Amino acid sequence: MSQSVTIKSNKYGINLILDADMSFADLIKAVVEKFKASANFFKNAKLAISFEGRHLSDEEQQEIIAAIEENTTIEILCIVESGTEQEAIMKEQVEAFNEAVQKQCENVATVSVPEQFYRGTLRSGQVITSESSVTIIGDVNPGAKIIAQGNIVILGALKGNVHAGCTGDRSCFVFALDMQPIQIQIGDLIAKSPDEPQPKHRVRRKEKPAQEQAQIAIAKDGYIYIEPITKNILNSI
């Protein structure tokens, strides 16, 4: 039964390849079985998901997501729909992001410390420090903090404090799928959010569609700018 469901990693999170002929009731059981077998790998992961192999209605997608979340500690952040404009935008954003990171790595002459990865939600009071860049697969809640000598990438919501380029490097950046920080610091520059709530910028959540893009924070001309991520922005890093 487990062969009826295949989990593959992609640039956004995971791609769920489903049997086209199995009854939906049996398919749900197969999905639960597959994710339970992978529980140690995913643990408290927060992931984007896409579906392949069979057509699913919105209700069926929600039922699969509910089955995953009810039987594991995984939280599905959003649905990336195959063959849609949303997927094209996501691909462009992620590919542009990867190109910029690769270019930046190629320009570094010294041997760097391997990038650190953290899977799960950072809660109030938790602090992550890194001598290189750090990628968070999950949310950074208010009261949590990340301090890195390199870049900070958050594949989730940024609602806490971050300090990229903590040794004074203004060329570093902060990337987040949902940019709502309390404070961002890049090098010696600091930007704090105003008291009033800021508009949210998300990929489509499973609860409702959204049109906003992921965002990136960069230092420029003595200020920190937070902008939708595009190839033009990333090429300027």
Model pLDDT, residue 204: 37
Give the total residue count for the chain.
237
> What gap in Å lies between CA 148 and CA 46, rounded to an integer?
21
Contact 140, 154 (CB under 8 A): yes
Is 2-79 assigned to CATH 1.10.8?
no
Over residues 93-100, mean pLDDT: 55
Question: Where do the CATH 2.160.20.70 domains begin and end in the chain?
Answer: 85-235
Which CATH code is given to the segment(s) 85-235?
2.160.20.70
Q: Residue 218: CA atoms inside 13 Å, Cβ hemisphere, count? A: 17
pTM above 0.85, yes or no: no
Residues 6+ apart with CB under 8 A from 66: none
Sign of the torsion formed by the C-alpha atoms of 105, 214, 61 and 46: positive
Indicate the pairing of strand 189-192 with strand 173-179.
Answer: unpaired
Question: Where do the CATH 3.30.750 domains begin and end in the chain?
Answer: 2-79
> What gap in Å lies between CA 163 and CA 200, rounded to an integer?
21
| pLDDT per position as a tens digit, 23-49 | 999 999 999 999 988 877 777 777 778
What residue type is 85 in one-letter code? E
H or E element: which one contains 59?
helix 58-71
